[in-house]
Every structure is written in C-alpha cells, then in structure tokens.
C-alpha cells in the first residue's frame, strides 16, 4: 500500500512539474491550452490547477483579449505563475547576521533580506528574529506568502541529522528556532550547517555549478566549510564533516573553542588577522578596513593575509588529497583580494596535494556571496523533494 501511495505522489509531483514548466515556458494559458500542451486528462489537470491556486502558486485572471458583451457568457480565464508568490524559505541564521531568501512555486527567488542579529540573543529572541525577518521581507517586497512547503535553516555548529530534518544540533538555540519556525509557518523545517548549505548552493548555481566534487571554504569571522562528493553533501557520522576551520595546524597551539588546539580558525580568522597586523604595528578596526589596507598596498597587511592563505592552502591540499575535488570555492572578506589569497592556495595545492597525479583542481572565489547559505536552504528543500535543482532555480532572478 505504501509503495502504491509513493508512486501516486511521484506521479502527481511529475504532473505538477509539467504544468508549472509549461507556464514558465509559455506564460499565461487557458485550462484548455494547458490540457492540450501537457497531455493530462481534464480531471487531473483541473485537480492540479485547483491545488496550485489554493497554494497561491498560480493566479487566474481574465485573458487580455477576451472582453465579452454582457449576457454572452463568461470571459475566458487564463492561468499564470504567481510571480510574487512564495512557498519555499531559506534562512541563514548566523551569530551576528541573518539572511533570508524566498522562492516561488517555479523555484525562482522573489525576495532577499539581511539584518544584523545581536550576538548575545537567546533562543527565544533568535526564533522571533528569524520569523520577523521573513515577515519583514514579505511585507517589503509585497510577496504573497503561500502555504509554506518548507523552510531550509542554516546554522553554525554541528548539525547531527540534517537529512531527516532533525533540528538537534550542538548549536544551543537551534532546536528552539526550528520548532518555532515550523509552528509559526506550519511547515517542515530542514536544518544543516550553514557552510555546508553554502557549498550546496555553490555547486548548484554558483562558482562550482555543475561540478560533482567540490570543497567550500568559508573564511570570515570564523572558518568553516562544506564537502560535496559525487554530487551529495558529506555530513559524516556525527554531523561534523567539512569543519575545515577546526583542522589542527599546531597541536601545541592555542586552545580553540571546539576543544582542540592550534586550529586553522585560530590562525586565519578575521580576529586572528587583525591581531597579527596589530603585532606588526598596523591598526585595522574591522574586516573592511583590513581588506582595504591590503588592497591599497600596505606591505605588512598583505604579508599577514598572504601568510594566512599559505596556511589555508596547506590544509586544503591535505583535504584535497583525500576527497579529490574538481574545484575549491573560497568565500569571505579575504577572497575579495583575489590573487593575493587565491594564488598562494593554488601554489600549495600544486606543491602538496598529490603533485604527480594527472589532475587539475581549480580554485575560485564565490559568486553567491553572503546569500549562499540561505540559497542553500532552498536547495536543500528542493533536493529533499527530488527536484532537478539546476533547472528549477536561478538565484539571479529577482522580480
């Protein structure tokens, strides 16, 4: 019985995808035109259209050229995609910021929003901030929020069971935030580490689009990462796979908040770079000023950042020897310096990661930027429902 139910659900999803695909290609169509183009029975088509209308995924309106004199029948109606409708939500809830994207039934991004988050916020406050960020976006962009099909939530920390949607994680506030989002929007919430979600977004629409094996390095206030192997995210047995920032570079080094010592994060994160510059007599207030100094030619600042890129490159070279990626994507403020950062990483890969192997590993800067993890939340939802991600969503579309 279960197999029959699953088969019927797959068939319905396929029929719905055919209807939505035809509306994307052709624009507004009458029910009769839709029926002829997708080859569905009248009963099946009308059931699908009725469901899409109820979900606000499509809208029905009078055809432009169907003016009828009074008393001569009803004007012809056409079905079209609701370009302002939204039923998928991606959220990246960082320690200091939140990023939100929403996608419509055609899986096009129809709105984006970012806002600061107080670092000392508790679980209840963070849940309220996440809900408010979505509602602010919906109101500001005049989005018609349909019954939400799902929420993809990116979080810092070790997410243990992202594939099942289990919100339990070593991030203290995660479970409460996921539960409150699910309750408020009456929708399932899938959680994952935000750097992993960013990796998923980059291989789907970004710098590593279409690549099956990639490594993602997130280099900012903290250092994280994500691994995509044979087209799938790698989580590991305990949800800690891809924690590049917590690779120990010096077992005798400074203690790290993860419990280890001499971690990469403690050596190359923005606070570590600011401290290293200060030791050389160069004062920078924040990441923006640090990068500006390097871009303007400050030799001490450039040396600090170049040395950090060499250390990052050594860690990535060791990782590349194990997972054999086609591409490494680097995101974060230092990546804006392009060759100053990416060239030392390439050099370390060439020198240390199986140099005699007949292969090429490309190193690229991120193309999705700060929205990557929120976009990855949408990608996680689509992948979970078995949709063809590469064709269904273009994050460059914002209506």
* Final residue in a domain of this structure, among 81, 99, 130: 81
At residue 67, the pLDDT reads: 52
C-alpha to C-alpha distance for 274 and 282, rounded to whole angstroms: 9
- Expressed as residue numbers, the domain containing 66 is 2-81
Closest CA to 154 of 336, 377, 344, 348: 377
* Final residue in a domain of this structure, among 61, 81, 101: 81
Asked whether residue 204 is domain-assigned, the answer is no
Asked whether residue 322 is domain-assigned, the answer is yes
At residue 331, the pLDDT reads: 97
54 plus 101 within the same structural domain: no
Asked whether residue 163 is domain-assigned, the answer is yes
262 plus 335 within the same structural domain: yes
Asked whether residue 281 is domain-assigned, the answer is yes
Number of domains in the chain: 3
> pLDDT tens digits for the chain (399 residues)?
566 666 777 888 888 888 888 887 888 899 999 999 999 999 999 999 998 888 878 888 887 765 554 445 556 789 988 877 778 999 999 988 999 999 887 778 889 999 999 888 888 999 999 999 999 999 998 888 877 889 999 998 877 654 444 545 556 677 889 999 999 999 889 999 999 999 999 999 999 999 999 999 999 999 999 999 999 999 988 888 999 999 999 999 999 999 999 999 999 999 999 999 999 999 999 999 999 999 999 999 999 999 999 999 999 999 999 999 999 999 999 999 999 999 999 999 999 999 998 899 999 999 999 999 999 999 998 887 544 333 444 454 443
At residue 386, the pLDDT reads: 43
Q: What is the CATH number of the domain that holds 162?
A: 3.30.420.40
286 plus 358 within the same structural domain: yes
At residue 387, the pLDDT reads: 43
175 plus 254 within the same structural domain: no
pTM of the model: 0.82
At residue 232, the pLDDT reads: 92
323 plus 289 within the same structural domain: yes
336 plus 384 within the same structural domain: no
380 plus 325 within the same structural domain: no
230 plus 347 within the same structural domain: yes
Asked whether residue 269 is domain-assigned, the answer is yes
At residue 391, the pLDDT reads: 41
224 plus 362 within the same structural domain: yes
Pairing of strands 77-81, 166-169: unpaired
The three state secondary structure string of the chain is CHHHHHHHHHHHHHHHHHHHHHHHHHCCECHHHHHHHHCCCHHHHHHHHHHHHHCCCEEEEECCCCCCCCCCCCCCEEEEECCCEEEEEEEEECCCEEEEEEECCCCCEEEEEEEECCCCCCHHHHHHHHHHHHHHHHHHCCCEEEEEEEEEEEECCCEEEHHHCEEEECCCCHHHHHHHHHHHHCCCEEEEEHHHHHHHHHHHHCCCCCCCCEEEEEECCCEEEEEEECCEECCCCCCCCCCHHHCECCCCCCECCCCCECEHHHHHCHHHHHHHHHHCCCCCCCHHHHHHHHHCCCHHHHHHHHHHHHHHHHHHHHHHHHHCCCEEEEECHHHHHCHHHHHHHHHHHHHHCCCCCCCCCEEEECCCHHHHHHHHHHHHHHHHCCCCHHHHCCCCCCC
195 plus 289 within the same structural domain: no
334 plus 288 within the same structural domain: yes
132 plus 259 within the same structural domain: no
């Amino acid at each position: 019985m279960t197999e029959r139910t699953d088969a019927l659900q797959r068939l319905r999803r396929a029929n719905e995808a055919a209807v939505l695909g035809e509306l994307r290609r052709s624009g507004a169509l009458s029910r009769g035109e839709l029926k002829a183009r997708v080859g569905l029975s009248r009963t099946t088509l009308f059931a699908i259209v009725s469901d899409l209308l109820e979900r606000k995924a499509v809208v029905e309106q009078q055809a432009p050229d169907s003016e009828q004199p009074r008393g001569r029948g009803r004007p012809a109606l056409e079905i079209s995609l609701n370009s302002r409708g939204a039923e998928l939500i991606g959220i990246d809830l960082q320690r200091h910021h939140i990023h939100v994207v929403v996608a419509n039934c055609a899986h096009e991004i129809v709105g984006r929003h970012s806002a600061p988050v107080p670092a000392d916020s508790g679980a209840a406050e963070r849940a309220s901030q996440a809900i408010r960020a979505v509602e602010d976006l919906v109101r500001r962009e005049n989005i018609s929020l349909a019954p939400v099909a799902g929420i993809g939530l990116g979080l810092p920390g070790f997410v243990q069971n992202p594939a099942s949607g289990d919100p339990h994680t070593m991030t203290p506030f995660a479970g409460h935030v996921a539960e409150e989002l699910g309750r408020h929007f009456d929708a399932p919430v899938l959680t994952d580490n935000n750097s992993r979600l960013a990796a998923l977004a980059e291989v789907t629409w970004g710098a590593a689009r279409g690549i099956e094996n990639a490594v993602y390095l997130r280099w900012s206030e903290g250092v994280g990462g994500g691994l995509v192997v044979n087209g799938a995210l790698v989580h590991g047995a305990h949800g800690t796979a891809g924690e590049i920032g917590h690779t120990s570079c010096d077992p005798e080094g400074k203690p790290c908040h993860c419990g280890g010592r001499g971690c990469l994060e403690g050596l190359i994160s923005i606070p570590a770079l600011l401290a290293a510059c200060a030791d050389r007599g160069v004062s920078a207030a924040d990441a923006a000023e640090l990068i500006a100094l390097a871009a303007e030619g400050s030799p001490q600042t450039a040396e600090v950042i170049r040395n950090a890129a060499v250390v990052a490159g050594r860690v990535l070279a060791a990782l590349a020897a194990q997972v054999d990626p086609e591409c490494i994507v680097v995101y974060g403020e230092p990546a804006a310096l392009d060759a100053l950062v990416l060239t030392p990483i390439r050099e370390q890969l060439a020198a240390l990661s199986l140099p005699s192997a007949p292969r090429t590993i490309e190193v690229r800067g991120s193309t999705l930027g700060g929205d990557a993890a929120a976009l990855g939340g949408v990608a996680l939802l689509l992948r979970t429902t078995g949709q063809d991600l590469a064709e269904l969503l273009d994050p460059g579309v914002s209506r």
